[in-house]
Amino acid sequence: MAGWWRNPWNVVYIVLGGLGLSFLALVLCQLSHPETNLSAVLTIVGGLFGTMSVGSLVQWLRLHISEAQFRLDRMYRPLYDELLKVVSDVKFYHVAAISKWREIDGSNLRVLVSPEVAKAMRELDPDLDKHHEVWDQAYFVATQKLIPLASAETRRRPGAFVEDTHPDHPVSKAFTEVHDLLKQDHAFLFDPDYKEDLRFLPRDGRGRPQGMGEKVTRLLGPVYRGGPDVGYEVIRDVRAQLMGGTQPSELTKSVTNLIPKVEAALLLVQHRLTRPLP
């Protein structure tokens, strides 16, 4: 009970209530005894009540706006940005994490998060951990296939001629560079519907898009004589091996299952951007 008095708003409520009751009692007294002139007292009490009411309302609005802004800046906007990135990362087969949510959930801010958002994020967290495990396994398998597949495909092609004598670009170095290039493109490794968007590809001096095929051709050019489309032939054959089988991979299934859960959490957080307070 002692702590109740430490809240200044509780004192304000009591004072306002007392002033309001006093003003009402004076009005009733004036009506009951018209011969008594209570106008001066009514003016003072009414003025105090009005001034305190307006001041309290203004202060309450300031605090309300300040708290709403605090929740937006410290919780909901960072969560919204993080979930947007998670949606993009999962769709493009990158590793996704909700580190900002873990930071909030591990601090005193967690009591300020709306219950529905907290529930959705806590359910999403282990799903992302499981997805990460599936991704790690799929990435390990895919990257192990790249060098032997690329090397075998280029060497077995009819008419191909591979030189090992170039001093600056030995075959091993060229294929290592191809391997490093391909393993950085996670959509190439995993997405069964992978297709380069020509609108966003860099272009050379003649305006030709510099996609994955062009990059592989440029890397293999000094050591491999297989024509101008060698890079496209290599990545086509490597993709065929990576995407072998008619059933969706475990990673593709994980992506398909995870996207709706992330988007549902994103909608809840988006709602809180317009209504940060309960």
pLDDT digit string, tens, across residues 221-252: 666 655 567 777 777 878 887 887 667 789 99
The verdict on pTM exceeding 0.85 is no
Q: Give percent above pLDDT 90 in the chain.
A: 28
Q: Give percent above pLDDT 70 in the chain.
A: 60
Query: Residue 55: its pLDDT value, please?
Result: 58
**CA neighbor of 104 nearest in space, from 117, 88, 123, 85:** 117
Query: Residue 62: its pLDDT value, please?
Result: 58
pLDDT digit string, tens, across residues 36-79: 666 666 677 666 666 666 655 555 555 556 677 888 888 999 99
Strands (E), the chain: 161-162, 224-225
pLDDT digit string, tens, across residues 180-224: 888 888 888 898 888 766 555 566 666 666 677 777 877 776 666
Top-confidence residue, 15 or 211? 211
Query: What one-letter code names the amino acid at 17?
Result: G
pLDDT at 262 over 60: yes
79 CB contacts (<8 Å, ≥6 apart)? Answer: 100, 101, 104, 117, 121, 269
Instruction: Give CA angle at 240 (239, 244), nearest 5°.
Output: 115
Query: Residue 161: its pLDDT value, please?
Result: 46
Report the C-alpha gap between 154 and 160 in whole angstroms.
7
